[in-house]
Amino acid sequence: MFSLPNKVTIIEVGPRDGLQNEKNEVPTEVKLEFIEKLQIAGVKEMELSSFVSPKWVPQMKDAKVIVESVSKVGRQFVLTPNEKGVELAKQAGVNSFAIFVGVSDSFNKKNINKTTRESMHELKPIVERLLKDGHFVRACISTSFYCPYEGAIDPSKTIEICREFVSWGVNELSVADTIGMANPKESYLLFDAIKKEFPNTLITAHFHDTRKMGLANIFAALQAGVDRFDSSVGGLGGCPFAPGATGNVATEDVVNMLHQMNIETGIDLELLLQAVNSVAPYVSRPIETGMYKLFKSK
């Protein structure tokens, strides 16, 4: 008989990963209301924004305002791709940082014009300095299962990247099925291996729902011992460097599934759906997640 955790932590990535590549410019005041409603719903860990060049990611140009304006509830991450982003985030009072790298060289080059090895070389002193200063660091590992340019990724390559980050002392690994191509068997095998090798590091699974296997992959990861998951309300998101990839697995559907299995999340589903409703009019595609459609049909 498989075992499941009694409690799961949801890391809500909607305000950053969900909105980052949204075609419509979402007003800052809407983002702030969205974040507040997520907090009221019980979300305790959240990606708020990213400190990146407004030239390349205009949606995140209000990162400083967002970080300085939100209520300080739980752990609040910002994505910082480089030294400049880290410094800007520090100036805004950020305490928890997310850095990222793609296991696939092709993806990494498309994303930030560097090979994976070049990125790791650049990130090491940044991570070490952040940790020395007492900050929380999560390492986001993209294309951990499949790459849109290279196809299937050898699990040993993903584990090797994890091993390197852990050797630096990162607090958390967020291992991502960036293009939503993983299946539940692959999810179980990779996360089982990662959990066994790195028992003292927080392990988070990050799934996209391209082939509608996001929930199945989460269930498989649960059986492997994972109790932390990234998700985005409304299934918002998608990566411009991952052709064909749809949004993240939807938080409201994840929470519903977990609650149906008597797994605690600390999140009020009805209030969570109200948060989805607050941002739905401002995004470019209709939100059609299972729980949101039920919410709207009432």
Catalytic entry in 140, 147, 162, 239:
239
Q: Which of 107, 118, 68, 74 is nearest to 267 (CA)?
A: 74
* Count of helices and strands (H, E) across the chain: 11, 10
Distance CA 209, CA 287 (A): 13
Whether 17 and 248 have beta carbons less than 8 Å apart is answered as yes
Query: Containing H/E element for 151?
Result: strand 151-152
Angle CA(53)–CA(54)–CA(59) in degrees, nearest 5?
125
Whole-number Å distance between alpha carbons of 263 and 20:
30
- Give helix 251-260 / helix 290-297 axis angle, nearest 10°: 90
Tokens standing for residue 198: 């790195």
The owner of tokens 């793609």 is: 102
Nearest to 284 by CA among 13, 25, 20: 25
Q: Is 239 a catalytic residue?
A: yes
Q: For residues 198 and 96, what is the distance between their CA atoms, to the nearest angstrom?
A: 21
Rounded Cα gap, residues 110 and 206, in angstroms: 20
Eight-state DSSP code of residue 282: G
Which residues are identified as catalytic? 239
